[in-house]
């Protein structure tokens, strides 16, 4: 039955902070607490938007921005180092109601790449901008700019030293640095009007080179939202997610294959990605408020907020 005018649905927000070889043995209690606190803060800030009747789009923006500001995650402040010792940032956002999207790749010095992705979506005639010229667009639109020191964290630097000078490129969470497993961030939301949205932000892979771009800023690969189906944000080795167009494929299987969100995620993520040897995780939310979080790594930082229920924060168990 279709929704009557002014009728509302329960809001939902799901976030992730990356997946990887996060094992209980390596994650000490203090660090675990820090992560949980950071995830809770992002859930709370994004959830506040939804509670007040704000849009799913604003909620994912706020949740991702909160995690970009936290040095624990590989996005915004705390992003991984690239081959040259800098930080190249990728982000995207999509509105499930209008199918409008914005994204930015290989941007430097923009404090909140998700904000730039949003401005691109809102104000420009483009979907994806990249590199130094995209910085001009950020400046023209008055976005906050920081010097490279702002993005630097000692842990990330030490992580990069292990790979520096080699061709080795790895997931930030798969580094052997003790007790520090950080991640790409993402959020999916459904607001009280039933609109869906998704956003993802990352520093990409450690020691990435040649202008490498992962799935996070690629609409359909790392991020997708469509009110008729679902909202999806991915994390993991982006090359696999691009090849399988994971986020859009989940939506397509629901739309054209008549499958549920859980079935579509199972097909794309568990069967296809696994067959190719891809590693990572996905958070997804459908138009009925069903939530799926899946990962084939040891852990994935994630949180779920559902109207009228207690917030849930997880790192390990599926
Ligand atoms: N998906 C991101 C990329 O490939 C990395 C990650 O999720 O950690 O750039």
Q: What is the pLDDT of residues 82-110, one digit of tens each?
A: 999 999 999 999 999 999 999 999 999 99
153 flagged as catalytic = no
Q: What is the model's pTM? A: 0.93
DSSP per-residue letters across 227-296 = TTSEEEEEEE-HHHHHHTTHHHHHHHHHHHH---HHHHHIIIIIIIIHHHT--EEEEEEETT--EEEEES
Residue from 259, 272, 189 nearest 227 by CA: 189
What tokens appear for 316 in the block? 């390990």
Q: Which of 12, 66, 175, 184 is catalytic?
A: 184
CA of 2 to the centre of ligand 1 (A): 38
Kindly list the structural domains of the chain, giving each domain's residue range(s) and its CATH number in brackets, ordered by start.
12-314 (3.60.20.30)
CA of 140 to the centre of ligand 1 (A): 28
Protein residue whose Cα sits closest to atom 4 of ligand 1: 238
What is the model's pLDDT at position 317? 73
Residue from 285, 113, 79, 81 nearest 195 by CA: 285
Name the DSSP letter for residue 79.
Answer: P
What is the model's pLDDT at position 169? 67
Residues of the chain with pLDDT under 50: 1, 176-182
Q: Is the CB of 185 under 6 A from ligand 1?
A: no
């Amino acid at each position: 039955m279709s929704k009557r005018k002014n009728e509302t649905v329960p809001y939902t927000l799901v976030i992730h902070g990356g997946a990887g070889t996060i094992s209980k043995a390596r994650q000490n209690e203090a660090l675990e607490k820090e992560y949980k606190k950071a995830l809770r803060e992002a859930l709370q800030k994004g959830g506040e938007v939804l509670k007040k009747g704000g849009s799913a789009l604003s909620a994912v923006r706020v949740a991702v921005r909160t995690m970009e500001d936290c040095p624990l995650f590989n996005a915004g402040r705390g992003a991984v180092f690239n081959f040259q010792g800098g930080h190249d940032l990728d982000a995207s956002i999509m509105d499930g109601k209008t199918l409008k999207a914005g994204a930015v790749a290989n941007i430097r010095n923009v404090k909140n790449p998700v904000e730039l992705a949003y401005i691109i979506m809102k104000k420009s005639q483009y979907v994806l901008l990249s590199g130094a010229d995209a910085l001009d667009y950020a400046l023209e639109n008055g976005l906050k700019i920081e010097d490279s020191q702002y993005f630097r964290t000692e842990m990330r630097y030490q992580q990069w030293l292990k790979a520096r000078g080699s061709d080795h490129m790895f997931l930030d969470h798969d580094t052997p640095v003790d007790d520090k497993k950080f991640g790409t961030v993402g959020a999916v939301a459904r607001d009280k009007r039933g609109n869906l949205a998704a956003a993802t932000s990352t520093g990409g892979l450690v020691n990435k080179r040649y202008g490498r771009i992962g799935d996070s800023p690629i609409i359909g690969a790392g991020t997708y939202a469509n009110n008729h189906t679902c909202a999806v944000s991915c994390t993991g080795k982006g090359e696999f997610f691009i090849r399988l167009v994971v986020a859009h494929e989940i939506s397509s299987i629901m739309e054209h294959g008549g499958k549920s969100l859980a079935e579509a995620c199972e097909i794309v993520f568990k069967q296809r990605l696994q067959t190719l040897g891809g590693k990572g995780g996905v958070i997804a939310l459908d138009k009925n408020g069903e939530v799926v979080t899946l990962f084939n790594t040891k852990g994935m930082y994630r949180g779920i907020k559902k109207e009228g229920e207690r917030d849930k924060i997880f790192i390990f168990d599926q």
